């Protein structure tokens, strides 16, 4: 479905509880990388993120990074912290999202994608038919990202009005 509206909104990725996902039948959480898990400015994750990854896994939810990035920092993170990843995902194309779902044998109803960008992550999730979860960008560090966010604001406001907050 071509939609820019997330189903759920959280301030940050670590606010998503495994129980919240499990209650909705989600068993695979796909994660955008840049500005959702880590800012562009560092390759070292916060302890809070590592603790959260562990908490999600213990809750029986599988995790896979789905990133448009072509940089080595994503596979490096993946290897170092033992989180699966799908790079070159080309979101909003559903291609990379579907590949990740196939890897884990999960269908649309069992999958959610969390990301900070309406025009790549939320749209991509909706086109693939999986649950779209929006989080605030960790760090809008360039003018370009700040400008893009201005265009995202109406969609986020609309989603809030429709009370899709958890
Ligand atoms: Mg991002």
Structure confidence by residue, pLDDT tens digits, 15-67: 999 999 999 999 999 999 999 999 988 999 999 999 999 999 999 999 999 99
User: Is residue 69 situated within a structural domain?
Assistant: yes
Q: What is the spatial distance between Cα 73 and Cα 70, in angstroms, rounded to a whole number?
A: 9
**131 found inside a domain:** yes
CA 115 to centroid of ligand 1, rounded, Å: 6
- 2 in a structural domain: no
Domain assignment present for residue 83? The answer is yes
Query: What DSSP state is assigned to residue 122?
Result: I
Residue 147 counted as domain residue: yes
Neighbours of ion ligand 1 (CB under 5 A): 32, 34-36, 116
Write down the pLDDT at residue 143.
63
If one counts the domains in the chain, the total is 1
Is 1 within the bounds of a domain? no
Q: In terms of residue numbers, what domain contains 29?
A: 8-161
Does residue 3 lie in a domain region?
Answer: no
CATH number at residue 19: 3.40.50.1000
Strand 111-115 to strand 28-31: parallel, antiparallel, or no bridges (unpaired)?
A: parallel
SS3 of residue 35 by DSSP: coil
């Amino acid at each position: 479905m071509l939609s820019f509206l997330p189903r759920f909104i959280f301030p940050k990725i670590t606010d998503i509880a495994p129980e919240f996902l499990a209650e909705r039948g989600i068993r695979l959480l796909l994660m955008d990388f840049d500005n959702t898990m880590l800012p562009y400015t560092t390759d070292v994750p916060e302890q809070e993120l590592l603790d959260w990854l562990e908490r999600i896994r213990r809750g029986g939810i599988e995790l896979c990074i789905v990133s448009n990035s072509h940089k080595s920092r994503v596979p490096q993170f993946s290897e170092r912290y033992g989180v699966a990843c799908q790079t070159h995902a080309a979101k909003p194309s559903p291609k990379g999202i579907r590949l990740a779902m196939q890897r884990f044998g999960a269908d649309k109803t069992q999958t959610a994608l969390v990301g900070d960008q309406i025009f790549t992550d939320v749209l991509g999730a909706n086109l693939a038919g999986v649950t779209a979860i929006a989080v605030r960008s960790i760090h809008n560090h360039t003018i370009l990202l700040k400008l893009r966010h201005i265009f995202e604001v109406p969609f986020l406001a609309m989603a809030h009005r429709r009370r899709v907050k958890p």
